[in-house]
Structure 1
């Protein structure tokens, strides 16, 4: 019952967070200076066009009524219609997530592999040359802007070495000239550009967490029982150090999903980041509102999954809270 009660509390917290976020997203666009219809159509729009769009968007109704209608539509799977694409916003989002989702996942996989390996390596060699080298490399990684690294990667691997294309996405279907390998190849450089900074952050967090756990009594006991240093590190130390590491990983995954606007535009990828950029450029506030809310929901869901992983990694949290 304790675990079930905890789960129900987390679900209630998740629902409340989404409700508050929806109110903030709606209010932020509602409080834009001027009439929203005039903002979408531009200064050259005729009064007749502004009036027609005002009625189409329901802007002649009270804000509370429009908010309830918007949230009800989202809950029923009936999002708004994009003004610039004349398609349901969630259909556009689902299409673009076919690029952004794999890109964020690939970047996260690269981040985890590199960061955990380097973090554990640095902790195992605390105060020695390997530790200093990893921390110095991490400091450089933290200082590199994603867009600048993306440009360097294009210049090296696409322009000079010509191993990959400079941008664009061929698609996942072989009928369109793409395919699985072609798609992964097109996403490799953007994933590297995104993973560099995230790996630098996660490696430092991993090193600190591992060093803290290595000072615990159970680690010395495991060593006294004859377990090798490598076995103690990977079987006992790393799992107990994963709670703070998971926190950062959850934040990074959310950041990768929502923070790809610059990198996707550098590589001309038809993902969610580019969709948001185009929606803002086209003053498509309906699309901006629905996409931002969908991304907020994804971030909240990721945090919820991370909390469930906490309980799996450390049952003491479940017993303590119940």
Structure 2
């Protein structure tokens, strides 16, 4: 198992290096000039050239790439062109909203998907199974932003149970608190979780049905074990391997998919920061945010590999 994790960690480092190169090249070759955007369309060419020199935009691309990587390793992420403040401070403030939002959405996804998937598999080809699959198909077809608007119309406009947007903050000094902050994230998390839960429910159902056909499950049932006990004791763990893999990918999608939802609910998260930075042509913020999201995706996949190694004894047996 040690060599398995070592290989996965080496793959993680190589993937991060490749991702950094792709992110830098894509953003660096985009048309436009950050100095031109900051000074405005009527700025003098001399002023634009001087600001570009101050920002380091006149240096060769390979040199800027090396300086960027060195800054990432040292923890110096540079200063924002538009906000004139350290990039890491901007990102860390927004992560305090985006990460809890993604975690809440993932928790809702897991509860809804595992419950629905197990329920459908236990009632295979019956009314309960058909009903869950129909709902799952509808959930897959619904875009996140459209469902978010429906939630606002129902729970904010009609029932007035939740605010239509905004974030009060985690601290009572900011006029909010933990309770109010979590309440403000319920509708965004639900709008993110619906599509992911529908996908995961179908995968859970398929994985559970595959395990239910195994000989050891039939043996356990023949010994008198009830269907519920067989599902929880024997089937679920063996069916978790593909489910956990998809959950890791979904959590990465939730982190990256908050851009639209945060703009719908007017939440000051990482997604809204990326959107505003793209509009302001603040490339250093966009570059670091995208690289951070890529690193989160790779890290989540590494954690999923470790969980699969713990769940599946065949991986450990293969190493031996």
TM-score band w.r.t. shorter chain: over 0.9
Distance apart, 1:29 and its partner CA: 1.2
**Partner residue of 2:50?**
52
Determine whether 1:13 maps to 2:31: no
User: Cα deviations across residues 36-66 of structure 1 (Å, max 9, x unaligned)?
Assistant: 5335545333213321221122222221111
Partners of 2:295 and 2:39 lie apart in 1 by: 29
**Partner residue of 1:311?**
309
C-alpha RMSD over aligned residues? 1.2
Gaps of 5+ in 1: none
**Partner residue of 1:168?**
166
| 8 Å Cα contact 1:40/1:285 also seen in 2 | no
Q: Helix, strand or coil: the match of 1:187?
A: helix
For 1:269, which of 256, 267, 270 is the aligned residue? 267
> Cα 1:312–1:173, aligned 2, differ >3 Å: closer, same or farther?
same
Partners of 1:200 and 1:146 lie apart in 2 by: 12
User: Cα deviations across residues 79-124 of structure 1 (Å, max 9, x unaligned)?
Assistant: 0211111111121111001111111111110000000000000000
- Where in structure 2 are the equivalents of 1:145-294 lying within 5 Å? 145-294=143-292
**Partner residue of 2:124?**
126
Distance apart, 1:173 and its partner CA: 0.4
| 8 Å Cα contact 1:138/1:203 also seen in 2 | yes
User: Cα deviations across residues 220-246 of structure 1 (Å, max 9, x unaligned)?
Assistant: 111122221111101110110011111
Q: Which runs of 4+ in 1 moved over 4 A?
A: 39-42
Distance apart, 1:319 and its partner CA: 2.2
| 8 Å Cα contact 1:41/1:283 also seen in 2 | no
Greater mean deviation of Cα atoms: 120-129 or 80-89: 80-89
For 2:94, which of 90, 93, 96 is the aligned residue? 96
Number of equivalences: 320
| 8 Å Cα contact 1:80/1:290 also seen in 2 | no
Partners of 1:48 and 1:236 lie apart in 2 by: 72
| 8 Å Cα contact 2:37/2:280 also seen in 1 | no
Q: Helix, strand or coil: the match of 2:75?
A: coil
Distance apart, 1:321 and its partner CA: 4.3
Q: Helix, strand or coil: the match of 2:176?
A: coil
Partners of 1:105 and 1:281 lie apart in 2 by: 28
Partners of 1:276 and 1:46 lie apart in 2 by: 28
TM-score (norm 2): 0.97
TM-score (norm 1): 0.96
> Cα 1:18–1:41, aligned 2, differ >3 Å: closer, same or farther?
farther
Distance apart, 1:30 and its partner CA: 1.4
| 8 Å Cα contact 2:34/2:282 also seen in 1 | no
For 1:66, which of 64, 67, 82 is the aligned residue? 64
User: Cα deviations across residues 232-284 of structure 1 (Å, max 9, x unaligned)?
Assistant: 10111011001111111011100000111111001000001100001011111
| 8 Å Cα contact 2:34/2:281 also seen in 1 | no
Greater mean deviation of Cα atoms: 287-296 or 56-65: 56-65
